[in-house]
Chain A
Amino acid sequence: ELKVEQNPLFLSMQEGKNYTIYCNYSTTSDRLYWYRQDPGKSLESLFVLLSNGAVKQEGRLMASLDTKARLSTLHITAAVHDLSATYFCAVTGYGGATNKLIFGTGTLLAVQP
């Protein structure tokens, strides 16, 4: 059964600091996604990572994927308050007939001034 672990669960950062969120998954997956969720809102897609060594960057966020280690990271550079949200990673199964998403627990990021 595909399981996804994410840590930390909660991250309090100061503005201007760097930090990394980790996402581990238990079996081979076709794709890994990172989403952002603001309180009471829907999921906003940030990154889709397809292959080993994939790295994508958007603004202060950079995501990478190591399929051999079954690990993805979301790195935050010089955090600003606007990045405060909950971040989820999610994976699909491998080669299956469905692309249902299995989500991690989420990381609540609070950026303090």
Chain B
Amino acid sequence: DSGVTQTPKHLITATGQRVTLRCSPRSGDLSVYWYQQSLDQGLQFLIQYYNGEERAKGNILERFSAQQFPDLHSELNLSSLELGDSALYFCASSGGAISWNEQFFGPGTRLTVL
């Protein structure tokens, strides 16, 4: 158990809908990362927050947004969902934001868009 929690574990929804994925980092970790894992795109970095501020952005669609709250939990919002958004979404956390801070991954949320 990495100490990173994600809810829900599974989510099934329809095209055009909006969902919110939630992540609670390890106690004391200030940085949160979101990654998407799909069959066609592999594992790719979406976005990073550090202590409430956006730190880095990857291949995140405009339909997706994220935020980190004062209690350091993070939410990833996915809107106008398409079939291709079906994927496993991982959250990770680390103590800091720069290269020597190892990330610890949560169990993931499996999103299925029908």
Q: Say if A and B assemble together.
A: yes
* A110 part of interface (Cβ distance < 8 Å): no
A87 to B58, CA, bound (A): 22
Contact A105 B42 (CB under 8 A): yes
Contact A42 B106 (CB under 8 A): yes
A11 to B97, CA, bound (A): 35
A100 to B97, CA, bound (A): 8
Contacts of B15 in A (CB 8 A): none
Contact A41 B55 (CB under 8 A): no
Residue in chain B with minimal CB distance to A50: B100
With A98-B55, A100-B33 as known contacts, state yes or no: A45 contacts B102, CB within 8 Å: yes
Q: Which of A17-25, A52-60, A65-73, A88-96 contacts its partner? A: A88-96
* A74 part of interface (Cβ distance < 8 Å): no
Q: How large is the interface on B (under 10, 10 to 19, 20 to 34, 35 or more residues)?
A: 20 to 34
User: What are 24 residue pairs bridging A and B, where the CB atoms are less than 8 Å apart in the complex?
Assistant: A30-B99, A30-B100, A41-B108, A42-B105, A42-B106, A42-B108, A88-B43, A90-B43, A92-B99, A93-B99, A94-B99, A96-B98, A96-B99, A98-B98, A98-B99, A99-B31, A99-B101, A101-B45, A101-B92, A101-B103, A103-B44, A105-B42, A106-B42, A106-B43
A43 to B89, CA, bound (A): 12
Interface 1/0s, chain A 26-64, versus B by CB < 8 A? 000011010000001111010010000000000000000
Residues of chain A at interface, number, CB under 8 A: 25
Contact A97 B56 (CB under 8 A): yes
A57 to B111, CA, bound (A): 35
* B48 part of interface (Cβ distance < 8 Å): yes
Contacts of B105 in A (CB 8 A): 42-43
Beyond the given pairs A31-B99, A98-B97, 19 more chain A to chain B contacts, judged by CB atoms under 8 angstroms and listed by A's residue number, are A31-B100, A41-B107, A41-B108, A42-B105, A42-B108, A45-B104, A95-B99, A97-B55, A97-B56, A97-B98, A98-B55, A99-B97, A99-B101, A100-B33, A100-B45, A103-B42, A103-B44, A105-B42, A106-B42
